[in-house]
Amino acid sequence: MAIVIFSSELQKLTGEEQTHVDAEVFKDIVTEISNQYSALEHDELMKMAVAIDGEIIHTPFLEKVAPSSEVHFLYRISGG
Amino acid sequence: MSEAQEFKYIGQRTIRPDGFDKVTGRAAYGADLTLPGMIWGKTLRSPYAHAKILSIDTSKAEAHPDVMSVATFKDFVTLQSESVAGTEGAAGVLDVARNCLADDKVLYHGHAIAAIAARTERAAKDALGLIDVEYELLPPVMDVEDAMMEDSPVLHDDMFTAGYDEKPSKASNIATRVEMKMGDVEAGFAEADIIVEREFRTPTAHQGYIEPHACTVTYDENGQSMVWCCTQGHFDVRTLTAKVLGMELGKLKVIASEIGGGFGGKTVIYQEPVALVLSKKSGRPVKMVMDRDEVFIATGPTSAAKLKAKVGVKKDGTITAMQGWMAYEAGAFKGSPMVPGVMTMFTPYDCPNVLVEGFDVVVNKSKVAAYRAPGAPQAEYAAEMVVNELAEMLGMDPIDLRLKNAAKEGTQTIYGPKLKRVGLVECLEAAKNSPHYQSPLPEGQGRGLASGFWFNIGGQSSVSVNMNPDGTGTIVEGSPDIGGSRASMQMMAAEVLQIEPKNLKPIIADTENLPYSQGTGGSRTTFATGMAVIEASEKVVVQVKERAAAVWNVTAEQVEYADGVARNTAGEDSMTLAEVCKNAEKTGGQISGNANINARGAGPSFAVHICDVAVDKETGKVDVTRYTAIQDAGKAIHPGYVEGQLQGGAVQGIGWALNEEYIFNADGVMENPGFLDYRIPLASDLPMIETITVEVPNAFHPYGVRGVGETGIIPPLGAVGYAVGNAIDRKVEELPCSPPRVLALIQNG
């Protein structure tokens, strides 16, 4: 199962540093964890970027997640 | 891509394809389009920094014989507070509209209130004086300290600070609070032998692009409206303008003109929806061009900031804890780059215990816009100054201290993932071995050094590569070329197609010719649009093989393509790319490839800068005597343009550190809105910026590209600031190091 590691900001909503999720694509991870933690809003999570195994993806949706993957949610970065 | 590759064209210093037009004056910029029947638009701006608008009477202006239309906020559609994604991040459409034309309040000196279109530019300017505006003045709030006070006048009654566990009961000028942490900073500081804690300030600074904002528009009630403008992202101009005016995207075409600098400041809209309203009401094409003072007072500078940095270190140089605090000015509407400031502040360091807190604060200044690596220069300036001071206290070389604690592959970042392979150690080693660092500092001068980190981004890019019957081709891309990217696109397509770059013409398509492409920003174009160019070119190669295979009665797998020639591995046949393209009409039609991608895997870029300065102790004037910029490019597609980006970033950062700042009077009126009094560095002010390009490939790009446009502006603030302090034996805590400020430091200690 993929491991989702929560930032210090998200930990305020989850109360936990990390969780394991049985999902193969990013959108299903969001559904899983927003069901698991009621304070996490599905739509807000979908607005965030994600790092899957260190690869930052700005608008994730159908991204594949391996059982050994490490997933981080992060603020979307823009630029100048 | 992780290992070194052999390239045929990548890495060459080709002549830029747009250079001839630019040096001969043929290139068409934002103000260069003139249409039949065109009239001129001009903007009435607030003389006050903070006031309620009690009434706007435009009747006298409308009666003027040369005036053809007048626009106010009421001409925009009824807007909801909707967030729209763009290159500069999400933008609140209501705030964007209220920034284009004030609603019921003016929030900064220069805030647009109304606009007039008239037969001539002079008539439009004169008629602005016929508009009567009744104000109720409010006290201006001009910096984060005032804005964050409990009893501060509030700019927006509906703004409640986000980021606390419970929603505050009272409206505030603090839009957002963010805190990121890892490890245990208290325990980390307890382990430290030395702790340094300091407070810093950075000024409001402008991107300083030479070309003012300009647009020419036509509104067509029934068909196709058009905006021609200088922008870093014409698809985003279309999105935001259409939202403000309630238009369908398909009825608005936006064409990106050539652009005379942007640096992040041309990722937003100001005049475009206003000009369309004026065009709609007058039935004429309308041109609007800002004057220089309008650019300064009414377009986004970058945030002024107040910052605190605290770092603990053991005697052996091991950093045990890092703590930061920052408050960034957003200008009149929320949305400063505070969050990337929080994320980047200590990222060059592999430290297990980090805590950073940030605040996004509204003040009565124009809304900030992105500026190269938005948010990072301010935050990393504070961190680098403290790290330099610690190195001095430890008696340790500042590069050795950084090497001992350098972020590298596997380093945990405060913002989430561990770093993949990055090039900070290589940059530090290159700095240490550089001729500059190896040279003794001339007597009486000061030396400073700083590192910098920026993420770089990927995102959406659309490209089409269309081949001609003679084997030449056109690269159609959706990313405006603000820094020579056309040459890089040419070279990447040439590398795949194995033909001379000059045989491929890169052009920037308008919003009707390609699907959506994000703007040019975030150091993304060579990385992301380059990936799209490579993919589209590879599709051309696939078709070339298929066409040749069909002619030779073999399978495509039996055709090899190299050096611009298709070869039959099952026989002796061969055809050049030009021959395949010439026969295309007989083998299935013309050949083209396209790619519409959302690029992922942007590679972070690190930089290290070294600065020497001489200070005139009698006037406080600082001269940069030597400057070296070292940066990891991943792979330099065009080394000359990479060096240009490193030099450009360094020069802008030096200007920010030395002289550039907005000066306001007690009423919040900007007193230096022009290049005479807002002093950016000139070529004659600076030595040649020496550059060293480090190449640690980004594994997620086919050629290893990271992106280089932004990181170079981060280290100069710390490198220059520390060099000045070193030269005068004082602690520099406030930028810019302008002569009066440096003189005061010398005289007052």
**A36 lies in a domain?**
yes
Place of tokens 């030096």: B654
DSSP conformational letter for B245: H
Would you list the DSSP string of B173-238?
A: SEEEEEEEEES-HHHHHHH-SEEEEEEEEE--B----SSPPEEEEE--SSS-EEEEE--S-HHHHH
Give yes or no for residue B3 having a pLDDT over 90.
Answer: no
Interface with A, mutate which of B415, B596, B701 (most A CBs under 10 A): B415
Which of B180, B372, B459 is facing A9, going by the closest CB pair?
Answer: B180
**A79 lies in a domain?**
no
Q: Was domain B39-139+211-298 assigned CATH 3.20.20.70?
A: no
For B709, the token pair is 């446009």
A64 touches chain B (CB under 8 A): no
CA distance A18 to A8: 11
B748 burial type by CB count under 10 A (0-12 exposed, 13-18 middle, 19+ buried): exposed
CA distance B624 to B477: 39
On average, the pLDDT of chain A sits at 93
Could you read off the pLDDT of B644-702 as tens digits, one per residue?
A: 999 999 999 999 999 999 999 999 999 999 999 999 999 999 999 999 999 999 999 99
SS3 B506: strand
pLDDT-derived band of residue B85, with 50, 70 and 90 as boundaries?
A: confident
SS3 B543: helix
Give phi and psi for B579, each to the nearest 5. Answer: -70, -40
pLDDT-derived band of residue B408, with 50, 70 and 90 as boundaries?
A: very high
**A80 lies in a domain?**
no
pLDDT number for residue B5: 78
B600 touches chain A (CB under 8 A): yes
Nearest-neighbour CA in chain A from B235: distance (Å): 16
pLDDT number for residue B326: 98
CA distance B141 to B155: 8
Instruction: Please state at what angle helix B530-552 crosses helix B485-497, rounded to 10 degrees.
Output: 30
Which residues of chain B lie closer than 8 angstroms to A55, CB-CB? 420, 600-601, 700
Would you list the DSSP string of A22-48?
A: --SBHHHHHHHHHHH-TTS-HHHHHTS
List the strands of the sheet with B305-313, edge to edge: B174-182, B354-362, B319-331, B305-313, B194-202
- Nearest-Cα residue of chain A relative to residue B412: A54
User: Is B197:B308 a contact under the CB 8 Å cutoff?
Assistant: yes
pLDDT number for residue B78: 77
Of B221-225, B328-332, B582-586, the one with minimum mean pLDDT is B221-225
pTM of the model: 0.96
SS3 B630: strand
- Nearest-Cα residue of chain A relative to residue B371: A80
pLDDT (mean) for B134-157: 97
Provide the CATH number for the domain around residue A16.
3.10.20.30
pLDDT number for residue B87: 60
pLDDT number for residue B580: 98
Residue A38 CB contacts under 8 Å (≥ 6 apart), including other chains: none
For B155, the token pair is 């700019």
CA dihedral B112, B362, B456, B422 (to 10 degrees): 160
Could you read off the pLDDT of B707-743 as tens digits, one per residue?
A: 999 999 999 999 999 999 999 999 999 999 999 999 9
A51 touches chain B (CB under 8 A): yes
Residue B320 CB contacts under 8 Å (≥ 6 apart), including other chains: B188, B189, B191, B192, B312, B313, B314, B351, B353
For B472, the token pair is 């030449």
User: Is B240:B86 a contact under the CB 8 Å cutoff?
Assistant: yes
Nearest-neighbour CA in chain B from A11: distance (Å): 10
pLDDT number for residue A79: 85
CA distance B386 to B310: 7
Q: Bridge-partner residues for B327, per DSSP? A: B306, B359
Tell me the CA end-to-end span of chain B in Å, nearest whole number. Answer: 53
Q: What does the longest C-alpha to C-alpha distance in chain A come to?
A: 38
Could you read off the pLDDT of B505-517 as tens digits, one per residue?
A: 999 999 999 999 9
Alpha carbon of B610 to those of B452, B616, B654: distances in Å?
A: 12, 20, 12
Which of A51, A55, A79 is facing B522, going by the closest CB pair?
Answer: A79
Select the CATH number that applies to the domain covering B305-409+416-455+601-748 from these four: 3.30.365.10, 1.10.287.3510, 3.40.50.300, 3.30.200.20.
3.30.365.10
Domain count, chain A: 1
Cis peptide before B736 (omega within 30 of 0): yes
pLDDT-derived band of residue B219, with 50, 70 and 90 as boundaries?
A: very high
CA distance B175 to B360: 5
Of B189-193, B482-486, B505-509, B639-643, the one with minimum mean pLDDT is B482-486
User: Is B349:B319 a contact under the CB 8 Å cutoff?
Assistant: yes
**A39 lies in a domain?**
yes
**A63 lies in a domain?**
yes
Give the CB-side neighbour count of residue B682, counting CA atoms within 13 A: 6
pLDDT number for residue B188: 98
Residue B479 CB contacts under 8 Å (≥ 6 apart), including other chains: B461, B485, B508, B517, B518, B519, B520, B525, B529
Residue B416 CB contacts under 8 Å (≥ 6 apart), including other chains: A5, A7, A51, A72, A73, A74
CA distance B373 to B557: 45
pLDDT number for residue B81: 76
CA distance B497 to B486: 16
Q: Across B589-633, where does the E strand assignment appear?
A: 592-599, 605-615, 622-632
Nearest-neighbour CA in chain A from B193: distance (Å): 27
Residue B153 CB contacts under 8 Å (≥ 6 apart), including other chains: B50, B138, B139, B141
CB contact (8 A) between residue A76 and residue B459? no
B89 touches chain A (CB under 8 A): yes
Give yes or no for residue B436 having a pLDDT over 90.
Answer: yes
Could you read off the pLDDT of A14-37 as tens digits, one per residue?
A: 999 999 999 999 999 999 999 999
- Residue type (1 letter), A74: L
- Nearest-Cα residue of chain A relative to residue B418: A54
CA distance A70 to A4: 6
pLDDT number for residue B620: 97
**A55 lies in a domain?**
yes
Select the CATH number that applies to the domain covering B19-26+458-599 from these four: 3.50.50.60, 1.10.3720.10, 3.10.20.30, 3.30.365.10.
3.30.365.10
Give phi and psi for B352, each to the nearest 5. Answer: -80, -15
Alpha carbon of A42 to those of A33, A39, B101: distances in Å?
A: 8, 9, 35
* B19-26+458-599 and B305-409+416-455+601-748 share one fold: yes
For B702, the token pair is 């086919």
Could you read off the pLDDT of B247-303 as tens digits, one per residue?
A: 999 999 999 999 999 999 999 999 999 999 999 999 999 999 999 999 999 999 999
On average, the pLDDT of chain B sits at 96
B316 touches chain A (CB under 8 A): no
User: Is B564:B577 a contact under the CB 8 Å cutoff?
Assistant: yes
For chain B, which residues make up each domain, given as ranges?
19-26+458-599, 39-139+211-298, 305-409+416-455+601-748
Give yes or no for residue B88 having a pLDDT over 70.
Answer: no
pLDDT number for residue B4: 64
Which residues of chain A lie closer than 8 angstroms to B372, CB-CB? 80
CB contact (8 A) between residue B598 and residue A77? no
Give yes or no for residue B153 having a pLDDT over 80.
Answer: yes
For residue A23, what are the domain limits? 2-74
pLDDT-derived band of residue B91, with 50, 70 and 90 as boundaries?
A: confident
- Residue from B608, B621, B623, B732 nearest B687 by CA: B623
The residues of chain A scoring below 70 in pLDDT are none
Nearest-neighbour CA in chain A from B239: distance (Å): 17
Give phi and psi for B419, each to the nearest 5. Answer: -70, 140
Which residues of chain A lie closer than 8 angstroms to B415, CB-CB? 7, 74-75
